Structure 1
Amino acid sequence: MSEQHTTALVTGANKGIGYEIALGLGALGWSVGVGARHDGRREEAVERLRAAGVDAFGVPLDVTDDASTTAAARLIEERAGRLDVLVNNAGITGGMPQEPTRVDPDIIRTVVETNVLGVIRVTNALLPLLRRSASPRIVNMSSSVGSLTRQSGTDGELTTGPVAAAYSPSKTFLNAVTVQYTRELAGTNILINLACPGYVATDLNGFQGVRTPEQGAAIAVKLATLPDDGPTGKFFEDAGEVPW
């Protein structure tokens, strides 16, 4: 990225991978907005980040609410005048069961509302501020279970993840939407990519993951700091590109 004072917003940044992304970007000397809907947990995260030397500030943000995303954009505009990096990290897994023959359709609607429509809502609200940046970046946090290749086991490896008719398809949906953003934003200086953090121990999986949140955050930090000639419209994990 070009040399400048950089402002980033990370959604769902009060804990887990989102917090570690905020910490990693803050370690670069960036100003980082901690997007979260719960006031107490958001401000606690901001205090922890500041204690670690990060120029952090709280951004009240419910990604499922239009008024909340509009207010978040207004707050960032008043504070910084533009946004350089947006990391769409907020996500939910939904309730159980999620076998397609048993899942409650309302669970699917709820998961898609956050994991897909929430990303669209936040991205569109912040795009005017991103367009003011010299090197704007958007990172959408996906998952290995968003890969149809890995879900179907057609890459020669074992099928990844449990049977889940809400969470896994929501990440595949997010991948497809990101491709459409890439097509629409072609010819601009906005780079938008998908990050796969791996199986990280967070409350989303009952802390059963084998990677730490810090390890899971690394790929998002890498994509947020791509050079101006970096890739766009791709799906990455630490080892390289993820098959669609």
Structure 2
Amino acid sequence: MTSRIILITGANSGVGLAATKVIVGASEKYHVIMAGRSREKLQSAMSEVQQGNTRGTVSTLLLDVTDEKSIDEAAKQVQEQHGRVDVLVNNAALGNVEPNVKSRFTSSLITNVVGPAMVAEAFRPLLLTSESPYSIFVSSGMGSLTMAAEPGAITYMPNENAYRACKAALNMIAIKEWQDFKSKGLKVFAFCPGFVVSNLRGTSEEARTGGGQAGDPAVSGQSLLDIIEGKRDAEDGKFVHKDGVYPW
């Protein structure tokens, strides 16, 4: 059976790691490429995946979404090893909430907006060789302009404006990719994984678990698998979450 090649950035923790576990546990037809910028963390994460319920296969790929050379080298490696990508999950992100506005916005935009845009462009030729290509941008409901403008909109964390702005910008990247490449068969989704355990907010137990309020990222992984398996195709080109569609 020919494997379906799924590349996930930021796959060594949080939603990326949880999604990898769900996907390779679902079927022998899936091969997940776990991409990240630390070889040591990737190897540890891959070992954790392989110790679980594994039907599919998994490999690692060094890829720093803030480094154009790293992205280009990663795309070349995948081209040589696999010849295509069937699903690209742009998941890598950071949740910078430091007080300095310039530093907060600069680092956030480079990682959360410029990075995914570069990754999407570098891997798109490999996606378009797939018979059924999917491009998924892991966004957040915090990036919804409509919901942010509602009276009584919730503030989730201090200095959250950079993160919100980045996810709104990422949504625009998703919309434009869908408009530009839907005629070539590329299905594109902006996807909100919800408030789940993640290193996005920091690596302390308090930050990772959101004070014990964050949910299981495996639920987000299952939602990603639903997209990959075509169960959300009717919502192609939209901003989806576990239970439906968010307004832009």
TM-score by length of 1: 0.90
The unaligned stretches of length 5 or more in structure 2 are: 202-206
Letter in 1 for 2:115: G
Query: 1:35, 1:60 within 8 Å by CA — same for their partners in 2?
Result: yes
Letter in 1 for 2:188: I
Summarize the Cα distance change of 1:150–1:48 in structure 2 as closer, same or farther, 3 Å threshold.
same
Of residues 133, 137, 150, the one that matches 1:136 is: 133
Q: For 1:69-218, what aligned pairs fall within 5 Å after superposition?
A: 69-97=71-99, 103-153=100-150, 158-159=153-154, 161-162=156-157, 164-205=160-201, 206=207, 207-208=209-210, 209-218=213-222
Shift of 1:230: 4.0
Summarize the Cα distance change of 1:130–1:143 in structure 2 as closer, same or farther, 3 Å threshold.
same
The unaligned stretches of length 5 or more in structure 1 are: 98-102
Summarize the Cα distance change of 1:90–1:62 in structure 2 as closer, same or farther, 3 Å threshold.
same
Summarize the Cα distance change of 1:172–1:228 in structure 2 as closer, same or farther, 3 Å threshold.
closer
Instruction: Answer 1 or 2: which has greater helix percent.
Output: 2
Q: For 1:215-230, what aligned pairs fall within 5 Å after superposition?
A: 215-226=219-230, 230=234
Partners of 1:229 and 1:188 lie apart in 2 by: 15
Of residues 65, 68, 71, the one that matches 2:70 is: 68
Partners of 1:13 and 1:169 lie apart in 2 by: 23
Summarize the Cα distance change of 1:4–1:232 in structure 2 as closer, same or farther, 3 Å threshold.
farther
Partner of 1:90, secondary structure, is: coil
- Identify the residue that residue 204 of structure 2 maps to in structure 1: none
Partners of 2:137 and 2:228 lie apart in 1 by: 10
Partners of 2:76 and 2:115 lie apart in 1 by: 17
- Identify the residue that residue 238 of structure 1 maps to in structure 2: 242
Does 2:20 match 1:22? yes
Kindly provide the CA deviation profile for residues 11-50 of structure 1, in whole angstroms up to 9, marking residues without a partner as x.
Answer: 0000111001111221222111000101110111112222
Of residues 24, 37, 60, the one that matches 1:58 is: 60
Partners of 1:228 and 1:201 lie apart in 2 by: 24
Shift of 1:225: 2.1
- Number of residue equivalences: 235
Partners of 1:44 and 1:183 lie apart in 2 by: 38
Partner of 2:235, secondary structure, is: coil
Letter in 1 for 2:104: I
Report percent identity of matched pairs.
28
Partner of 2:103, secondary structure, is: helix
Summarize the Cα distance change of 1:228–1:161 in structure 2 as closer, same or farther, 3 Å threshold.
closer
